[in-house]
Structures are given as C-alpha cells and as structure tokens.
Chains A and B, each alone.
Chain A
Amino acid sequence: MNGDNDAFGLLFTRHKDRLWAVAVRTLGDPEEAADALQDAMISAFRQASGFRGDSAVTTWLHRIVVNACLDRLRRRAARPTVSGLDERAMDVLSPGPGGTDAAAATETSLDVMAALRTLPPDQQAVLVLVDMLGYSVADAAAVLGISTGTVKSRCARGRARLLPRLAHLRGRGEPYVAGAAPVSSAPQDGTQLGNQPPSRRVSPAEGGEPQL
C-alpha cells in the first residue's frame, strides 16, 4: 500500500506541471483549475490500485484531469455567466518581467483566452491540447477518448470559429519556424513534450513515453 502511495506521489510529481498546464488553460481560472486538478488527483488515486508506471498511466492521468476540467466547463456553460475573463484570469496571465513586449504578449494572451472561452467545451479541449500545448492529434485523441478524426474535426471547427474573433490580433501571432521556442511561461520541466509549435510536435518521445 505504502509503495503504491509513494509511486503515485512520484507520478504526480513527474506530471504535475503538464497536468497543471492543461487544467489552467482549459479552465482559464487558476482557482478553478487548482480545484479541478485536486479533484482529478484524488479521483485518480482512488482508481490507481495496481497501476503501472507505463505510458498508459500517463494518458490515463491526463484524461482524468481533462475530464475534470470539461465537467467544470460544461457546468459553467450551463449557467449564465459574464463572458470574458475575470480578475483571477488576469492574475493567471499577468505579465512577468520583460517590459512592454511582455505586456503586449500578455494582452494578446488575454484576448486569445477570452476568444477560446466562447467555443463549445469540446472544441476548447482539443485546441488547448493540440494548438496550445502541442500535443499530437493521436495523443489528444487518446487523452480525450475520441478518434483522431474527431480531434481534427473539432480543431478545424474551433479554429474557424476563432478566426473572426482573433482578427484584431492578426500579425501578433508569430509564423511557425521549425525549432523556434514558444513564447510561453509554461513550466519547463525537462520532460516536457507538449507546449511546442506544431511543427515540432512529432519529436520522438524518450523512453517510449507518449507525447504527454
């Protein structure tokens, strides 16, 4: 039992930054993301008897987090709320050091997040995984438990819907450059395989791990 507990703790430690990145981008609200992540971890721990430290566990863990976030997104969508971002979301995207460039990047991020929030939850989820975090379509499909075709379809519909809502930001998004580092404050945990420009998305995973 103790061994399982410790192993789960290590699993959490290993993936927490990636899981947090998924949660906070999916929900936009750091407090809600924190709650969703905690709920997911407790849920995963309860289901974790006999889990093994293989790639399937990684996908499974991400799936639990994504589903916890989607549940919240759907509940949020079902009740009338003020659209856009609140102050807590502003905190999330608050600029770090870096001067006007950072401030401009923050402003852009706020607009992007606000636009994303207008999409149906299912489309938000795939765009967070694929476009924001750089997961492969196959990995996103595994995490979400849907087909790759459905991932692609939701991505396409989501991007098409976002297009007019991001028109005012045109020119601020940098064109893809293979190997270019994303301008992101997301955690750099050394094992990070997402959060890459899609052009780098297909880099081979180390140790047989999936792109998660």
Chain B
Amino acid sequence: MRGHADAATLAAFREELLSARKAAQVSAHLTTCPRCAALEAQLAEVTSLLNHATAPPMPDALTARIQAALSAEATARAVDARPLAAAAAGAGAATPGPAGHNGSQSTAGRDRTGDRTGRRAGWRGHDRSWLALRVAAVTAAVAVIAGGGYGVAQLLTGSPAVTGNASGGGVAAPNIRVTGPVPRTSAGGLNAPAASSGTGSSARSSVGTLAPLVVSSGTDYQPASLGARASAVLARLTKNAHSPSQPGPNIAPTQNQANLFPDLQSCLLHIAHGQHPLLVDLAKYQGHPALVVVLPATNGGQPRALVLAPGCTSTTAHVLATATLPRSG
C-alpha cells in the first residue's frame, strides 16, 4: 500500500472490518512501518485506557430509592386495577366513560406515585426530604442525619444505635443498625418508643397502634396458610396488648434469632417503604428461620405478609413469599 495508514483505517483493520485485500495490504505494511505499527499500538492503548477508567459502585441510597419507586409503581398498579375489577363485578352498570379513559387514569396514577417517588430535583436534597417525610410518617423516633446523606430514622425504637455516614457532598447511604443486644422483654426494648427507651408500660400502650410488634411467635409459617397464620398471630398479639396481662415472655425474640437479622431496622425501612409494619415476627418459614412482616392494608385492601430470608439489609431483601391476610369476620 502507498503511504501510511491513518487511525481510522487501522482501527477498522483491528476490528476486521476491511476487505480481505485491504487488510492484507495493511498487515504487510505494519510489518515494515514502525510509525504505523506504533499508531496501531496506540489504538490498543485507547481500549486499555477506557477499560481502566474508574467509576464508583452503585450507592446504596440509589438502590433504596429505586426499590421504593418500584414499590410505589406496584402499589399504583394495584390501585389502578381495583376500580376496573369493581366495575366488572358491578355488571358494567356504572362504567365511567370509554375504555380509553381508564388507561389515562392509570397513567396518571402511576405518574403520581411511581415516577415521582424519590425523583430528585437534586438527589441529595430532594431524596433526603422525601425519605425523611416517609419515615416521619411511620415512626415517632426520627433521627435525621445531616450532611450529604439521607435522612434516616429508627423504624424500631429502643436502641440508640443510629449512626450516620454522611460525608460532605457525597451520596452516603444510610447506615443504621441495631448494635445492642435485643432485649428479651417485650415491654421495653425494640418495641418501646425512643422517648422511653427503657422499660415501662408506656411502650405497651402503643403496641398495635404505632410501634410495630417485634416478636418471636414460634410459628412455623407454611406457604398455604401464610396469610391465615400471620393474621392469627397478629390478632393474638393485639389482643394481648390490650389486655391487662403482659404478652407472654415466649414471644420476645432471642439473641440468636435477632442475630439472623442484624440490620433489622434498615431491612424494615427498606421493605416497608414508609409503611408501618403491623407485625415483625422472628419466626420460621417451612422450618427455616425467617422474618415475617405484616404491612398494613392500602386503599381498602387487606394487610400483606412478607417472608424474608435471614440477612435482610437496607439494600437486599430476599422475599421468600408473600400473602394477603384474609378478611376477618
């Protein structure tokens, strides 16, 4: 070939994009021309430089934000579907408008609850306020972490272990953990409000209303009866909470059970998405240790039970099963 090869030609040659004839010419030329051989080596180095360019891991806060958005989207979808089902059940007597109308309603609903969930105007600012608001709605014990991170809260109270990891200007993820031993008494400890983190009957007064129950009911939940069993446990505990007698000591989680969920607070904050769990049961599922969480009903539905595998954290929750609690009465 005449003259030297340019970078574009050599780059095409390296990707085997040239015709056989042209490629043979370039190949032969490279063996005799140090200048073009150097250029070809530099092209290889471009790929190497790109390959070594660094980027950060995905922030935990973003994971939580997207999971919250997906949850909101799922909720919106369920809400959207409900009126349609009701209309169908009503023999179409009150079908509101043309078929397309429901579609636009659905879109509006999703936009309202899905797209905007966690949407930033600046992710450090907007998200922080969003998450803080969500959390504030479900717990009285709020510890907002200042700085570049997120507002986080103790979903379960009684442990002072709320720590912030919020380096200035960063996108630090919330870092909240139960660090102390889990109290074995149900009156104080995990179920107690922050203001009375010791023992006291004031904690019990909120059982079933604000503070979620963290118990170990001893139940071995099964797939077919998950909703019914969760409903029964919840009913039993609620009844006990409103009776003069204390819930039996057997429902307090043991340390070993709690150790299976060292990030219980973060986990609940993550999976509840701002909802306040009605029940948190360190129990078993099909014979294996698991966490059963009952989330309250939304939009006239029934409470929902989720079964989580051990190791649930603020970013990772392995949902083993879900079920809707049966309607009582």
Instruction: Report if A5 contacts B (CB, 8 A).
Output: yes
Complex interface bits, B34-56 against A, C-beta within 8 A gives 1, otherwise 0? 00000100111111111111111
Of chain A, the residue at the smallest CB distance from B110 is A46
Question: A38-B118, A153-B15 are contacts. A162–B319 as well, Cβ < 8 Å?
Answer: no
In the complex, are the beta carbons of A156 and B171 less than 8 A apart? no
Q: What A residues does B14 contact at CB under 8 A?
A: 156
* Pair B15/A8 contact, Cβ less than 8 Å: no
Residues of B within 8 A of A186 (CB): 54-55, 57
Q: Any chain B CB within 8 A of the CB of A25?
A: yes
Interchain Cβ contacts within 8 Å, total number: 189
CA distance A91 to B55 in the complex (A): 10
- B12 proximal to A (CB < 8 A): yes
In angstroms, Cα B110 to Cα A2, docked, is 17
A45, A131, A157, A185: which contacts B47 (Cβ < 8 A)?
Answer: A131
Q: Assuming the A-B contacts A159-B46, A160-B7, are A37 and B55 also in contact, with contact meaning beta carbons closer than 8 angstroms in the complex?
A: no
Question: In the complex, are the beta carbons of A20 and B58 less than 8 A apart?
Answer: yes
Flag if A6 contacts B319 (CB, 8 Å): yes
Contacting chain A: which of B73-81, B188-196, B282-290? B73-81
Instruction: Tell yes or no: A141 within 8 A of B by CB.
Output: no
- State the interface size on chain B (CB cutoff 8 A): 59
Q: Which residues of chain B are within 8 angstroms of A94 by Cβ–Cβ distance?
A: 56
- Contact A91 B170, beta carbon cutoff 8 Å: yes
Interface membership of B140, Cβ < 8 A: no
A182 at the interface (CB under 8 A from B): yes
Chain B residues closer than 8 Å to A127, beta-carbon distance:
50
Q: Would you call B69 and A105 a contact (CB within 8 A)?
A: no
Q: Are B63 and A16 in contact (CB under 8 A)?
A: yes
Q: A16-B58, A184-B55 are in contact. Are A35 and B70 (CB under 8 A)?
A: no
Q: Are A34 and B123 in contact (CB under 8 A)?
A: yes
Contacts of B65 in A (CB 8 A): 34, 38
B137 within 8 A of A: no
| 4 tightest Cβ-Cβ pairs between the two chains A and B | A20-B58, A173-B48, A156-B11, A131-B50
Contact sample, A vs B, 15 pairs, CB 8 Å cutoff: A9-B67, A13-B63, A34-B59, A34-B62, A109-B53, A116-B50, A131-B47, A131-B51, A132-B53, A152-B17, A153-B12, A156-B15, A174-B52, A183-B52, A185-B57
